[in-house]
Structure 1
Amino acid sequence: MVGAATLFLAACASTGNKGGEDSARGVETLSMDGSFTGEVIGQAAPDSGFARLRIGMTPSEVQDVMDRAPDRQHSYESGKRWIPFYYGNDARRMQVLYRGEGCLIFTDGNIWGGAGGDLVQIEVDPGGACYQP
């Protein structure tokens, strides 16, 4: 029994991403305040708005950088919504599309609608295929 548990734990530990490039998606990036990691998928053109975005920004900071509101947005429940006694700000998420740039995902609050508003994913996709309403 102990051997099976050890093998299970070793397998779980070996699949974790310790920062850097994840071959399936993107790059883990530390937030501006260093309190969590987010993900950047793709490489933004140096002169684009997405090149100036940072994980951890609020929606209003993003709009200031982009100098416009998003073209489309929607909110959805994350898997954390179903964790008993989870009171964090990530029970809901909000995805926004900036046409010609790509998609952003923000935390969108706890189960009561409070908190949220941290940029956790930047996906560079000028074609907009990243937007999944």
Structure 2
Amino acid sequence: MPQTVPATQMNQQARPAKKGSKTAKAEQPTPPVQSAQPVAAAQPAAPTPETPSGKIGPGMNSKGEVVDSSRVEAGYGQSVKGLRDWEGEITGKPAPGSKFTQLQIGMPMKQVTDLVGQPSDQGAYLTGKAFIPFFFGSDKHRQELVYKNQGRLIFAGGSMGDIGSAHLVWIIHNASEPAYR
């Protein structure tokens, strides 16, 4: 059991020793140092097997399934590194027989639509990076494809001058996805 270290050292007369004095430097038993983490926090809590991150996000149920794709937020799914070092996220559990299981983060939009077919609805929006002056990286805009009873696929747009090359960055599995956004 860790003990706390006294705030000041004491000499034999039970008075605080002055800093730099011989009594402060005299051999005294060294008290054990308190660990940086409390004993209770030494064992991390195991995440629930239903969700990879152990958190239940908005638009999700306690089983880790997405019930409302429009309310899902980033950070509650499984972070993955995909093709060509693209980083992305997979949220929810795939529906039985879902074509989304063939997909990998980092795939170009053309390759994805060749594998899973045309979406039932789609839309696009700007991200906050679009308003940063002199930002020439990717992810200034995103394209969202909706597939009925499968979920949604989010693509990050290319950088300046590279408008048509969107890559898959987020897969949202939702077995009860409506046909339209």
| TM-score of the superposed pair, with normalisation by structure 2 | 0.54
**Percentage of pairs with the same residue:** 32
2: CA distance between counterparts of 1:85 and 1:22? 37
| 2:133 matches 1:84 | yes
- Structure 2 vs 1, CA of residues 92 and 100 (structure 1 numbering), >3 Å: closer, same or farther? same
Partner of 2:152, secondary structure, is strand
Residue 41 of structure 1 is aligned with which of 91, 98, 103? 91
Residue 105 of structure 2 is aligned with which of 50, 55, 62? 55
Partner of 1:119, secondary structure, is strand
Q: Greater RCO between the two (CA within 8 Å, min separation 6)? A: 1
Deviation at 1:82, TM superposition (A): 1.4
Deviation at 1:115, TM superposition (A): 5.1
Residue 21 of structure 1 is aligned with which of 28, 53, 67? 53
Alignment deviations for residues 71-129 of structure 1 (CA, whole Å, 9 cap, x no partner): 11111100111122111121010011011100010012346662541100000012226
> As a proportion of its length, which structure holds more helix?
1
Partner of 1:80, secondary structure, is helix
2: CA distance between counterparts of 1:113 and 1:81? 14
1: CA distance between counterparts of 2:92 and 2:109? 20
> As a proportion of its length, which structure holds more strand?
1
Deviation at 1:22, TM superposition (A): 6.1
2: CA distance between counterparts of 1:87 and 1:61? 25
What residue is the counterpart of 1:125 in the other structure? 174
Q: Which 4+ residue blocks in structure 1 deviate beyond 4 angstroms? A: none
Residue 106 of structure 1 is aligned with which of 131, 150, 155? 155
- Structure 2 vs 1, CA of residues 114 and 22 (structure 1 numbering), >3 Å: closer, same or farther? farther
Residue 65 of structure 1 is aligned with which of 115, 133, 155? 115
| 2:170 matches 1:94 | no
Larger Rg: 2
The Cα RMSD (Å) is 2.3
1: CA distance between counterparts of 2:97 and 2:161? 39
Q: Which runs of 5+ in 1 are unaligned?
A: 1-19
Alignment deviations for residues 29-78 of structure 1 (CA, whole Å, 9 cap, x no partner): 10122x23100001214632011111001111111221x21111111100
Q: Which runs of 5+ in 2 are unaligned?
A: 1-51, 58-75
Q: Contact 1:87–1:111 at 8 Å: present in 2 too?
A: yes
